[in-house]
Every structure is written in structure tokens, then in C-alpha cells.
Structure 1
Amino acid sequence: MHFACASCLETLTLAVSLPCGASVCKSCVRICTNDLFDAVCAHELRFNQNTAASLSRVLTRFRCPVRSCRQWHYGLTGVDWVLEGLLQICLASASESDAKGSRDIGSAERGKGGAEKALSKAGSHTSQSHLLELSLLALKKGHFELAAAHADEAHALNPWNRRGIAKRRIIEMRSGFAIETKQLALPSIPTHWTPNAQQCNAIKVPDVPSAEMLELLECILCLTTFNDPLTLTCGHSACRNCLLACLVHAPLNPVCPVCRFPLPSFAALTSRKTNWFINALTTKWAHVLPTRPSIEWNLPSAQRMTIPIFPVSLAFPGTRQEFHMFEPRYRVMVKECLETGSPFGLCLPKRSFNPFEPQLRFSKIGSAVSIEFSEEMMGDERETSKGSLPRYYIQTKAQFRFKVVDDTSTISPEGLHYAHVERLDDVDFNDMHAHKRDASSNDNVTTTTTTTASEPSATIAAHEFDPLEYATMIMKLRRTVTGMLEGLDPARVRLLEEGYGPMPSDAGMLSFWAAQWIPLNLQRKYEILSSVYPHERMRTVIEALRL
């Protein structure tokens, strides 16, 4: 096993981990530049001071450099702290000449005109990048034959990434074919190809790690050895279950526990690929790593759960509501939620004259709300299965959306419905095309749930995701809202913020926030609540405001 880039097959330099699970050099990632997109992101940054959540970090896209993937990825990826730390320790343990020749060749001598001499001082491990840099220096001086010789050596050292032959062709064109054209042998590479150890030219992973290496393979949350590690966009790594547990405790605007960079949704973390390199290291060094204790997070209950349903209205994630609970069944519901700290479901009601009807009498898409404040209103106690309970005045906040997965519900003696629900999160940008392809195969491209004649439609027209269009819509909405607030007096602005909250910095929550106050009928609001595509929700809001 080697510290090899999955693209160039050389020693990793500023290693970054991609959403597909592969690890490559940062220089191997080619960002697709777009001047108009950069201008929109710069304008958006004036309204969103949180630079970590700026659109340029989230929506910048690039083609995966790994040959077996080649998919479009979204979001600038930071340096993988674990892999870079391990590589630095390996280089530091080698001799000073090897470390200097592998990572920072001749930085002191380059200013004195001794670049070629410094590059020739590489240690026992010869890097193709060093030979290519020697070739570039010779090419700049007009030494075409020497440059071609270094390019041929680079190709012979590692023919699988074809960088040597590419440099050779550049030299031939720059020289005006003053040197002899040479046909180099190319290995046959299949379309879906994964390199093996014999095809890599990188530093070998030691069989016995040092104590410093073992410390780097600890999760930043549970402080034990990695189990199913995930690497976030910011570059920090943690166990999958640990990150999912963070989202359970903080479902709104979750952030990285180290650098406070925004975390993806629950569904995105569930479907994200495991960091292959870190997972392989934990397997290779399992005989010396400390035994991992069994930690039970009970995450299936976080994804699927049974909660009481309060069919009264529609609520978007992040919004607050106040209720006066006076019916006996809902007094029991509030009592249970206060005792267990669990949420209850808020759904749109359907017409029903029998509260004990087992069929669903509420919409299939709703929001799970938690009680932030409660006050007992004594003087009107009612006997229930929980004893004598008063009326309640409660203040709630919607935490996340859910989808009812069963057509029937459990009914308590008071007539309170309990439904089996599943979390409904936005689809990650990196999984959007695959998600729509799967939905198309199931004849469900434009609908999130199966609708009936008595249930509001959950249909939003499907569109292809365009980062520039999405960034432009966000910029238009923020500019419009900012202009509206500037025309109001400060007292009225405070009232609006108390009622709807401040404008969120998260682009996905922005459409929910705007849907609270724009003039939309109940069906359109239900469509926005049901959509798992942020750009389609934003398009609905923009069309309603006629921007």
C-alpha cells in the first residue's frame, strides 16, 4: 500500500478527499472557472457575511480526476487533515535529504540559480513530478533535447498517468520539431480502471505505524479509532455514525465540530462514500490500533420513528409556532413530549368526523416540531390516560421534515394518532443526478409522494441543476428582501424578524424562510415543503415574486 494519488499515481501532495471516496492531490483537481458565476458569488457575499457558507465554496463544480469515477462534483474540498498529517510524519521519519527531495526540493537554492542542481538531489524515492519540473526548467532555457530526455525518464518511471508523454508532445511542438519525434509505448488502460501497487510511484505506507500516526486515526467526536470514516468538505474526518448523531441533536444548521463549517444534510451523510484511504489504513493497522468500544447511537430511530401527529397546519423547518392545547388527546401528546423530549408531527388535516378512523386523516408530508416553552393553564383539568392534565400553552420550533411511510396509524384511547415517519432531507448536489435517475426509473420524477384526491399535490416541475442559475436566483431574492427591509422603519423590521426570523445564511433554508411570507396558496406551500431539490424550491419562490 502506498500514499498514492488516485489520479496521477504519485505521492499525495496536499491530499484532498473527494465525495466519491477517493484521495487525490489538490493540483490534480481542475476547477471549471466561470467569470459570470464568480461575479454572482462575489455579489452574494455582500449579503451573506458567513464566508464558510458562500456559494463559491458550495456550488463550484469540477470533474472527478479519478478515471474510475469521472463524475461531476460540487464544492471546493479542503486538504484532508488526516492524510496530510500521516504523510508529513512519514516524510519526517525519513532522512533529511529524502524529505527535502520529496516535498520541497531546492527551495533555498532555487533563488540562487541552482534549481536543476537542487532537483537532482532527490533522495532514494524518485518522483515523476521532479523529473517533469526538471524538464520544464530545461524547456524554459531552450535545452529541448535535455527537456525531452527528462520527459522520457518521467514516462518510463510512471507510464500509467501519461504525464511524461504529454510533456514530450509539448516539447516537440515548442521546439518546432527540431528534435526527433519519439513514439513512446503506452499501457492499455480500460475505462473503469483501479491502479494497483505495481503501477504507483509513491511513498510506501509503513507496516508498523508510529504512535503519532495512531493518534491521527482517532475520530474527533468519539476519540476512538475510525469506523466507517467520512471526510467533510472542510477536510476534517469523523465516523459516519458520530456525524449523524450530531445532526440528530442539531437538525437545523449543523456545523463541523472543529471548524464550524456547515455540514450536509442527514440523507447526504448517509449516502456519502467512505474515505477509502483512511478505511484501508485502519484495516492494515488493525493489529496495533486500540480496540474500539461498542458505541450504540440508535440511529435507525433517528431516521425512522413513531411520533404523535397534530393535524392543524403547515410549518416549514426553522419556523416557530404557538399553540393552545385544550383537547384531552393533545394534552396527552404535550405531556409525553415534555417527558421524553421527543418531537411531534405537524401536518395538514383532512376532513374526518371520526377521530378513531385508522386511515390517515392528515397529509403524508409534515414537519417534526419540538417544544421550546410550555406553560400549564390550571383550572380546567381533564382526566386522561396520563392522569388529570391541564391545558397547555406551548411555543414550538420546526426541526425537520418527514414523510409518513405507513398508510395506517396507531390510535391512543383519547383518539391521538401515532404515525410511522421517515426523515425527509434535501438531496446533496453530488447525488442529485443519480437521485433523479432513480426517481425516473420509478416513474416518480416530479413527485415526492403519492397523492390522493383528498391530499394536496406535491408536484414541482423537474429541472436540471444549473449552479449559475441557482446562484443567480439566490442573489435576486436576497437583493429584493434587502431592498424591502431598507424601506421600512427599524421598529417594523424588528417585528418582521421576531415573526419570521432573520434571513438565513444557508441557501437551502432561504426558500423555506421566504415561503412563510410570500403570497402563495396552501397547495404551492405544500409543494415547497415536499420538494427535496433546493434549486426547484427557489425557482418556485422566484416565480411567485415575479423576479
Structure 2
Amino acid sequence: MSSLQTDTSPTIPAPSTPSDGPTSRSHSEKGDSPASHPAGLDSTASPAELLLSATKDARQIIRLVQCSTCSRILRDPITLPCGQTLCKTCIPETHLRTNISWPATANRLQGFNCPFEDCRKEHAIGDCSVDVTLNKVLDIVRTAVEQARALTEGAAVSTHVAIQNPWEVAGLPTLEEKDALSQVVRGGRIVSTYTLAETGSLRYECEVSYTAVGASEEEVTQIDSDAFLRLKECVRTEMDCQICYALYLDPFTTTCGHTFCRHCIHQVLSSSEHCPICRRALLIQRQVNSASAPANARLTKMINGFWADVVSVRAETVRAERQAELAGEYDIPIFVCTLAFPAMPTFLHVFEPRYRLMMRRVVDADRTFGMVRPERPSVAGGAPFSEIGTLLRIVNIEFFPDGRSLLETVGVSRFRVTRHGVLDGYVVGQVEQIDDVGLAEEEAMEISETMRGQGVQDFTQRGEREASATPLSPQSPATPTHSTVLTLADLDTKSTRDLLDIGIGFVTRMRGQSVSWLAGRVLAVFGECPTDPTLFPWWFASVLPVSDDEKCRLLGTSSVRQRMKICCRWIVEWESSRW
């Protein structure tokens, strides 16, 4: 007797612009995004609903390794910054990205428009590398399918596969009058579906129904169950984070193509800017959120479909650990003293008994502490210091016999105090790190503002300008670096590179005038004027004699461009004799 098994899903992506499909039927019915499932930290579906079945979800299993653009099995998979994946050859035609002056590296001046409907943003080629983990998984899946196919050849097991119109499956009217395409393919449901996708005979958005040929339903069920079990066991070997060595939790794929748990890579980037595997510099922020940098959608769906029960337990463990951290002791000791900036040195003379004790404990721990400046409370009972400060790391310390000490520290990162208390006379607090927007958002900000300065009011006009436009670059600034008639209004429409040139030009002129705040001893402490816009604002704020209120504005900013505009405003006002 033959058996009929239908694999359908109520929610079907539009055939014209497919996106990565649902993980399972329950997933589609709830309308959940991959980031909200157990592979992340929040879950609205139970693990049982997310787990895939070898007999009921053969189509969904193969869809996990099928390109939604060309409908074939993924080849050289590229995971985009939006979290979606496609074949390397399916990347749309690239174009020259205009109105970008920083960082303006060769691989960031070429870009393309994302083909996925839920994104459609412009991605830089430099942010797109072959997904190392997914590429290994594809090799494993291919080998597992070949082994399963070989096991069924002697038994003469085949499957009659009927490819259905996706609109009819969704219960929607269609103008297509073609009958469902049917083929008899060697192997069970998983193997036959993979074969059709491999040969390009099965569109990504199409659903299928199965009829066993040459075997009973029980035999086919056993064949598919065995194949799926072997597949999961083999794939599991590539699903461990190389930082925590546990199953990926909220898998985040970096621009170099390596994947880690999001919270693991955050911890690494707190003390390093390089990928733990390939050592390539990572242009992402430590606390980049899932909205601006989504998780790897394919790996998330695969993890949910294969091991939702396991990762759900792990997610609960991590959640409990975080809650314990929030309910426990305060994060860091806080020195209420002066302003400090990231990447800049700060020298301290510690003589108060409470801070002597604090420094002894800091040295015995991780040699880091927070620095905030004193500030009058804005409300009754408020903190007598600024809520925004800088995390400092001790580089050198010299203790004196009377208990005093001299410290040389360097700024690590910025933070915001969320709650605070007092321990043995000094302030301790719980803090959250302040980070910049991602590089893509930084570039988008520059494009928007410089195009507005060029009279382009809408991005729809951009395509008309690209053919004749020339990208701004560090080597060829498009506008003069300094103008005696420069106004505050001009700053918004300057490129980031022009803003840096204005700052460097000002420093050069001031050194020519031998101003006291650029004396040799000052430069010996803070170094020469940097030519990197990520460092220039912190250096400039350290040496320029402007008010602390003005300097404090830098600590709360979220972009390099924003800080450069603040520094250039100081320059305009300085040269207008307002200071």
C-alpha cells in the first residue's frame, strides 16, 4: 500500500521575493521572528513546537540549506549583516557607494542593495564574507544525504513528490493554471527533497506532498528518521561556539564569517577588537543589539529545529545568571574625581583613605574602575556625580610608605551608571556600557547629511547621481579643509573626512602660534595629533581648554561623526573668539 504525506505551511512567502522561510508550522502560525526563539534569550514558542520532525517536516529541513534566491542548495553561503543568507553568486550587482569618506576602504566603497524584502538596505562588500560555520554544515549535509541515498538504493525505495503551487497552499487565488509538477525520486522524503533542490527543480517557496513508492509507510518513516538522526548528529559537531564551547545561543556571525554566541563575542570585544579565530579587526560594537545586528537566521532556525529543547535549557541558565548578576553586588568601584576619555591616559594621585582602600582592592581584582566627575544633583536625593563616565584600566601604580599612590591609567570604554551605592566610604555602581552605532549606520548618517548639503532631498534621486559621482576619500577631499567663512551650519553637511581635516588643520595652526595647551609636555602625555577620526575627538577634548560641560557632551554621543561635529563647533567658536 502507498501512503500520502503532505508537508504544508499556512504562511507562504511571496514567490517573487522569497525570504528565509519559517522554521516549523507552529513558528509560522505564531509569526515569531527567529531572534525571539530559544536560540536567543526570549521564547514565545515551546521547544516541542519548534522541533522538526523527519516525517512531517522534510520540506522544512531541506529549506534550511536551500538558497531563497536561486532555490538551489546553498553554495559558498554569505550571511549578510541583516542576518539573511544567500549563495555568493546570488549577491546582486554591486555599485559604487558615494558620499562616504570614512573609513572609505576599498571593500566598503563597493556595495549592493539587499534582495530580501524585510531589509532592502545597502550592504558594503566588506561586511560580507563566506559563512564558515554554515559552509561546513552544508558539506556535512551533502555527505549525510549521499550516505542515506546509498543505503536506499538496494531497497529500491523511491518517493513520488508533487510540487504544489505556493499560492494554492496558502489558500489564495492564483492566475496560474498549471497542474502540480510530479516526479519520482530515489530515496525517502528527505533525500528526494534534497535531490530536487540540488537540481534546481524545487523553488524555495514551493511546498510538496509525498507518496511512498516501493515501501510501506512504516519503512519510509524509519528511513527518514534514521537519516534525520544521523544528520543531526553530524551537524552538531559544528554548532559549538569557539569561545564558550557550548551550543550556539543567539548565534551572531561577524563580518569575517565566524559565528559566536552574541554574549560571548560581546565579552571578547570588551578587551579586544579582533576575531578570536582569524584575528581580523571587527568593526562592530560590544553591545550591538539584535535590532541593528540580527542573529544568523539560518543557524537560528537550524538550532531551533534540531535542538530547541537543549538550547531552551541553556537559555534559561544564562537568563538566571544574568538575573543573579543584577541582584548581586555592584559591578565596579567608582572614583568621583575628574573627566577621563577612552584611549586617553589619566594620571591620579590617590591620598584619601577611602580611595586607598578602593585601589588596593582594584589592584587585587582586574585593575579596572570607573571614573566620573562630581556634579550637583539635578533632583533631591540624586547622585552627586555625572551618570556618564569612563572605565579606566591601571597601567602602572606606585605605592608610597604612607599609603598614597600614583596611578597611570588608560580609558577603556564609556558607561552609564544605572544604580549606585556606597561601600566602605567610596561609591560602587551597576553600569551599562555606552557604544557607538554600527559602521553601516555611521556611513548612512554621512550619506544622508552630505547629500542634503548637495541639494539631494530624497534617496530616490541618488541613482541619478551615482554615474557621475566620485566617492569621497582620505586622499582626495572634495571640499577645502578650512575656510575662514566656515559657519556652524556648514558642519552638518561636511563629510567626516572634511571634519577631520578641519580639526587637524586647526591643531596645526595653533601649534604654529605656540599656544600653551599644545606645549611639548602636553604632547608628551597625550601624544601627537591623531589622524583617525575615532581617536581625534578624545585627544582633542583632552588637550583643548574648553569647559567640562562641553567635554561631557562627547561621552554621551553614539557616533564618530557626531563627535567630530562637536569638535569642529568648538573650533568655529574658538576662532570666532567666543571662548
CA deviations 1:121-143 (Å, max 9, x no partner) are xx994679x98xxxxxxxxxxxx
Matched, 1:397 2:400: no
Matched, 1:268 2:256: no
Which one scores higher on RCO, CA 8 angstroms, separation ≥ 6? 2
TM-score after normalising by structure 1: 0.59
The alignment covers a number of residue pairs equal to 397
1:95-174 equivalence runs, <5 A: 125=195, 158=203
3-state SS of paired residue (1:524): helix
Q: Which amino acid aligns with 1:256?
A: C
Matched, 1:29 2:51: no
Matched, 1:256 2:256: no
1:91-490 equivalence runs, <5 A: 91=142, 125=195, 158=203, 195=205, 207=228, 208-209=230-231, 213-248=235-270, 250=271, 253-263=272-282, 264-268=284-288, 272-286=293-307, 301=325, 305-341=330-366, 343-350=368-375, 359-378=382-401, 380=402, 390-406=403-419, 409-412=420-423, 414=425, 416-429=426-439, 469-470=495-496, 472-474=498-500
The alpha carbon displacement at 1:64 in A equals 2.4
* Separation in structure 1 between the aligned mates of residue 145 and residue 417 of structure 2, nearest angstrom: 58
Aligned in 2, Cα 1:397/1:239: closer, same or farther, shift over 3 Å? same
Aligned in 2, Cα 1:288/1:334: closer, same or farther, shift over 3 Å? closer
- Which residue of 1 is the match for residue 553 of structure 2? 527
CA contact (8 A) 2:492 2:565 kept: no
* Separation in structure 2 between the aligned mates of residue 274 and residue 255 of structure 1, nearest angstrom: 19
- Which residue of 2 is the match for residue 452 of structure 1? none
* Separation in structure 2 between the aligned mates of residue 60 and residue 90 of structure 1, nearest angstrom: 33
The alpha carbon displacement at 1:326 in A equals 0.8
3-state SS of paired residue (1:526): helix
Structure 1: gaps spanning 5 or more residues: 45-53, 99-122, 132-153, 161-194, 381-389, 436-460
Greater Cα shift, 29-38 or 75-84: 29-38
The alpha carbon displacement at 1:306 in A equals 3.9
- Which residue of 2 is the match for residue 192 of structure 1? none
Which residue of 12, 15, 24 maps to 2:77? 15
Which residue of 136, 139, 156 maps to 1:88? 139
The alpha carbon displacement at 1:479 in A equals 8.4
* Separation in structure 1 between the aligned mates of residue 268 and residue 490 of structure 2, nearest angstrom: 32
CA contact (8 A) 1:358 1:410 kept: no
- Which residue of 1 is the match for residue 155 of structure 2? none
- Which residue of 2 is the match for residue 508 of structure 1? 534
Which residue of 518, 538, 546 maps to 2:564? 538
Greater Cα shift, 302-311 or 79-88: 302-311
Aligned in 2, Cα 1:318/1:462: closer, same or farther, shift over 3 Å? farther
* Separation in structure 2 between the aligned mates of residue 77 and residue 66 of structure 1, nearest angstrom: 15
The alpha carbon displacement at 1:71 in A equals 3.6
The alpha carbon displacement at 1:324 in A equals 1.0
CA deviations 1:216-239 (Å, max 9, x no partner) are 222222233322211011110011
Q: Deviating runs (4+, > 6 A) in structure 1?
A: 93-96, 287-297, 431-435, 461-466, 478-488, 492-497, 502-506
The alpha carbon displacement at 1:396 in A equals 1.4
CA contact (8 A) 1:319 1:398 kept: yes
RMSD across aligned positions (CA): 4.9
- Which residue of 2 is the match for residue 139 of structure 1? none
CA deviations 1:360-379 (Å, max 9, x no partner) are 2111211121222222211x
Greater Cα shift, 284-293 or 232-241: 284-293
CA contact (8 A) 1:7 1:67 kept: no
CA contact (8 A) 2:98 2:109 kept: no
* Separation in structure 2 between the aligned mates of residue 36 and residue 376 of structure 1, nearest angstrom: 55
Aligned in 2, Cα 1:330/1:71: closer, same or farther, shift over 3 Å? same
Aligned in 2, Cα 1:394/1:287: closer, same or farther, shift over 3 Å? closer
3-state SS of paired residue (2:242): coil
* Separation in structure 1 between the aligned mates of residue 252 and residue 277 of structure 2, nearest angstrom: 14
* Separation in structure 2 between the aligned mates of residue 31 and residue 473 of structure 1, nearest angstrom: 32
The alpha carbon displacement at 1:270 in A equals 5.9
Aligned in 2, Cα 1:397/1:59: closer, same or farther, shift over 3 Å? farther
Q: Which amino acid aligns with 2:436?
A: D
CA contact (8 A) 2:331 2:431 kept: yes
Aligned in 2, Cα 1:31/1:432: closer, same or farther, shift over 3 Å? farther
Aligned in 2, Cα 1:59/1:413: closer, same or farther, shift over 3 Å? farther
CA contact (8 A) 1:14 1:25 kept: yes
* Separation in structure 1 between the aligned mates of residue 238 and residue 513 of structure 2, nearest angstrom: 53
Percent identity, aligned pairs only, is 24
Q: Which amino acid aligns with 1:260?
A: R
Q: Which amino acid aligns with 1:377?
A: F
Q: Which amino acid aligns with 2:549?
A: Q
* Separation in structure 2 between the aligned mates of residue 484 and residue 261 of structure 1, nearest angstrom: 37
